[in-house]
Amino acid sequence: MNAYVGTPTSRVDGRAKVTGAAQYAGEFQAAGLLHGFVVTATIARGRIVRLDASEALRVKGVVDVLTHANRPPLADDDDAWKDEVAPEKGSPFRPLYDDVIRFNGQPVALVVAENWETAKFAATLVRIDYEQDGFATDLDAKRGHAIELDKPHKPRGDAETALNGAAVRHEADYVIPTEHHNPMELYATTTVWEGGNRLTVYDKTQGVQNVHKYLCSVFGKKPEDIRVVSPYVGGAFGSGLRPQHQVVLATLAALALERSVRVVLTRHQMYGLGYRPMTIEHVALGASADGKLDAVVHEAIAVTSRHEDFARNDTGWAEQLYRSPNSLLSHKLVHLDVSTPCDMRAPGAASGVCALECAMDELAVALKLDPIELRLKSYSERDQGEDLPYTSKQLRECYARGAESFGWNRRNPAPGSMRDGKELVGWGMATGVWEALQMPVAVRIVLTANGHAEVSCAASDIGTGTYTIVAQVAADALGLPIETIDVKLADSTFPQAPVEGGSWMAASSAHAVLAAAEDIRQELARLAKAMPGSPVGSVDIPDLVLVDGMIANGNDKSRAVSIADVMRHSRLERVEKQKLNQFAEDKSHARNTHSAVFAEVKIDEELGVIRVTRIVSAVAAGRILNTKTGRSQIMGGVVWGIGMALHEETVMDHRFGRIMNADIAEYHIPVNADVHDIEIIFVDEPDHRINRLGVKGLGEIGIVGVPAAIANAVYHATGKRIRRFPITVDKLLD
């Protein structure tokens, strides 16, 4: 029965969020709560030679100032600090571990006081002398120092020869700047001292069990000593995948002082966390005169920290999208004196596909081909890197539906040819692609005799809608109204879940619910059959279904018995089942989501002001569990794409290795007035192979392709190619 799956169900946590009842990490109360304020380094590389906290300590209400010199013990091997998504290679940053400064903005002390204002004031009184070493933060300047990753994509054919012999070729660098996630909620942890050395840690994170394991290993604690809880997360977008500075600092202070401690980072301090790394994307495409791709070369040169090798798949996406007999793909890193980058919405793809899809547009212009036609000429039915077919790929349909809705056939291809009054009009398009991943997740379902079910799982809902889709799938699988389903998430003591990321949680959690619900069904079916005079006594267990609070013969629903009667008769107050999802091992197919994005920009010819007046995004992502929250996720990705195209850039003053716009006014993100018509089309994409429900996930695909579609629209409006993002007025008027 599908009363809920696939419908536009409103968020089950909606009421909590619109009334202010939803509690976030920095909002949990504890008796005698202390407040920590972080002091950060003001140099990019070097050593603390003197740290004087005496003046801060004299402030009334200050309890302690914790530094590398007086902190409690911390693990001293890298493995203890490697969380489940830490880069394989490198040495994770350890807050307050030693006197070494690795990046500007690094936490170097925590002032703990009876209230927040006092801690904040006293933090200004901590005096630090540094010994500064030479440092480098400029990727453009250090490009020549790039080191190739030791796991390159396998080259196919001979791309360089093919490129040299191509009838038409296009080659250019595209530059994606460093970007920061800037979730609305400040990073916060409230660590509650429970006595007896036990801690409850309310943390802003995308993975409570990841943080739990990390804290246990960093502080040498037994698993039962620490519980990590995070019922609501005010946005994260990848920044909460790894445990962040404040959770170490709050917990360290709680252990040192045997008190409850809250640490909230300021917006400014959040720029010392991870970020989307700046990359220089070099793309070279060669095609035959009739527009078939013959060579793809894509090299990414990305920033990482000096202490960790963070790298994502920027350059592999052409293998998925475009048939080409020759390809050469590589990823290089430049080690700089900065904090380690981290995943940010569609990591790798948002940047790499942006470059690829701008390059494809430039190639289409060189070939005098329509951009869609160019893409269809090299449409790939296989993942060429793995040489596999797809479980499903309705990208052709995305192009067709998106183009139709946008009105693409009315486009005059000549740049600068379309106008609306004094504004130039540009129409551009691009393709998007992401992976459809699924991970081990378990849920526990407790069905009680009153017809309610509690569904629990350690997974987080970072705004993605996990609470709601888990409730929908459970309601359908148990045959109960959604109002009777109580979903509990993000407690490290709940059944296992990985971090919420990579767009894998919808498929993974939904199938865990199905697995646990199936065990509930079997148990109830056995009990129902065993009742004396049971109306379903002769029905085989596989034929019994849960529907409308009954256990019924699936072939004849009039033969049924109520779940309440079965439980009463069996003298059961509750039926409890916990199960891990099971996905069949299948390496015979590639799994991806796809999109076609169409953008309209209007540009004031004299002032260069760009407005994105329309976006149509046609998405093929398997079955959509919730068309309402799913549409919102894609829309959010589109808004991120507008930001990436036109607004977002973390600006570094390389003389000091310091970020100059470390706030949310100077770092521009789209505001309401920047966002106009966005149309989301979910293309029908039945997928019977990927998993039982045919679900692929939606968190990342929404952003991919959007920046390129806008950049291509800007070119169409103006004839100008801006290859260094974001596309700002000064670049357009230059």
Q: What are the residue numbers of the active site? A: 700
**DSSP label of 11:** P
Q: Residue 733 is which amino acid?
A: L
**CB-nearer residue toward other proteins: 93 or 232:** 232
The pair of three-digit structure tokens given for residue 640, joined into one six-digit string: 């991120």
Chain residues 660-679 in contact with other proteins, contact rule CB under 8 A? 663-665, 669-673, 675-678
Give the tokens for residue 375: 């893409």
DSSP β-ladder status, 261-264 and 34-40: parallel
Q: From the list 184, 651, 660, 733, which residue makes contact with other proteins (rule: CB under 8 A)?
A: 184
C-beta closer to other proteins: residue 17 or 526: 17
The residue (of 18 and 660) whose beta carbon lies closer to other proteins is 18
Residue 10 interacts with other proteins (CB under 8 A)? yes
Could you tell me where the DSSP H helices lie in 336-465?
Answer: 349-367, 371-377, 395-406
Where does this chain touch other proteins (CB under 8 A) — which range of 184-192, 482-490, 556-564, 690-698?
184-192
Total residues interacting with other proteins, rule: CB under 8 A:
74
Q: How far is the CB of 646 from other proteins (least distance, A)?
A: 14
Q: Which of residues 45-74 bind other proteins (CB under 8 A)?
A: 55, 57-63
Where in 197-236 is the site for other proteins (CB under 8 A)?
232-236
Does residue 22 interact with other proteins by CB under 8 A? yes
Binding piece for other proteins, criterion CB under 8 A, among 183-191, 216-224, 568-576, 650-658: 183-191
The radius of gyration computed from the CA coordinates of the chain, to the nearest angstrom, equals 27
Q: How far is the CB of 35 from other proteins (least distance, A)?
A: 9
Task: Give residues 403-462 in contact with other proteins (rule: CB under 8 A).
Answer: 462
If binding is defined by CB under 8 A, does position 121 make contact with other proteins?
yes
Of residues 355 through 414, those in contact with other proteins by CB under 8 A are none
The tokens for 11 are 């968020």
**Contact criterion met (CB below 8 Å) for 166 and 287:** yes
Piece in contact with other proteins (CB under 8 A), picked from 77-85, 127-135, 487-495, 630-638: 630-638
> Which residue number, 17 or 50, has a Cβ lying nearer to other proteins?
17
Secondary element (H or E) of residue 332: strand 326-336
Nearest CA to 177 among 139, 147, 131? Answer: 139
Site string for other proteins, 78-117 (x = CB under 8 A): -------------------------------------xxx
Q: Which of residues 528-587 bind other proteins (CB under 8 A)?
A: none
Contacts 24+ apart (CB under 8 A), 136-139: 136/336, 136/337, 136/654, 136/657, 137/44, 137/336, 137/337, 137/338, 137/652, 137/654, 137/657, 138/336, 138/652, 138/654, 139/278, 139/280, 139/301, 139/302, 139/303, 139/334, 139/336
Sheet holding 550-553, edge to edge: 544-547, 550-553, 556-562
Identify residues 122-151 at the interface with other proteins (CB under 8 A): 122, 125
Out of 92, 177, 637, 694, point to the residue binding other proteins (CB under 8 A). Answer: 637
Which CB atom, from 359 or from 624, has the smaller least distance to other proteins?
624
Note the residue count of the chain. Answer: 734
Q: Min. distance of Cβ 232 from other proteins in angstroms? A: 6
- Please state, in angstroms and as integers, the Cα–Cα distance from residue 221 to each residue in 215, 371, 694, following that order: 7, 57, 41
The tokens describing 362, both together, are 């430039």
Closer residue to other proteins in complex, CB, 55/225: 55
Is residue 465 a contact residue for other proteins (CB under 8 A)? yes
